[in-house]
Structure 1
């Protein structure tokens, strides 16, 4: 069994670390779209696409009916379109 011999260094400034974490969390919250993005997560800088489903679809244990509008990552929107799950627009 291997043993990690690296020494742990104490954090130098926990107040700065906490402020950075709060700032990052606030930025993530500000970028969150109105609707929940289903399927694969968005890459940095991507905007979600709204698609209208043409068929019943289960994604992540959630059931979506024909005509439902969902927000997905652009690559997933292309995948759903190629598979025939989205309406023609």
Structure 2
């Protein structure tokens, strides 16, 4: 396969003005950047201490924990101290 040779521009060949803007469009859709979790797989937030059971809380507001977005109504397993903090700040429903 051969590459076509470029021909030099002459006075008869129209050229684009220097301030012309070329629009580039893409047809690819961007993936959503933040994942949405509906079922807790593990304890989120601070790690558990030894011999401490995780607590399930129902979130009252949108919240991002460890880079993951949670919607209102989602149930998450958390450290009991973190659950108390979330309830105090109004991010989790009172039990």
TM-score bracket, normalised by the shorter chain, equals 0.5 to 0.7
| 1:44-87: CA deviation from partner (whole Å, max 9, x where unpaired) | 00000000000000000000000000000000000000000011
| 1:9-62: CA deviation from partner (whole Å, max 9, x where unpaired) | xxxxxxxxxxxxxxxxxxxxxxxxx83000000000000000000000000000
Stretches of structure 1 lacking an aligned partner (at least 5 in a row): 1-33
Return structure 1 stretches of 4+ with deviation > 2 angstroms: none
State whether structure 2 residue 62 is matched by structure 1 residue 56.
yes
Aligned residue pair count:
56
Counterpart selection for 1:69 from 64, 70, 75: 75
TM-score normalized by the length of structure 1: 0.60
SS of equivalent to 1:70: strand
SS of equivalent to 2:85: helix
TM-score normalized by the length of structure 2: 0.56
SS of equivalent to 1:51: strand
Aligned to 1:40: 46
RMSD: 1.3
Stretches of structure 2 lacking an aligned partner (at least 5 in a row): 1-39
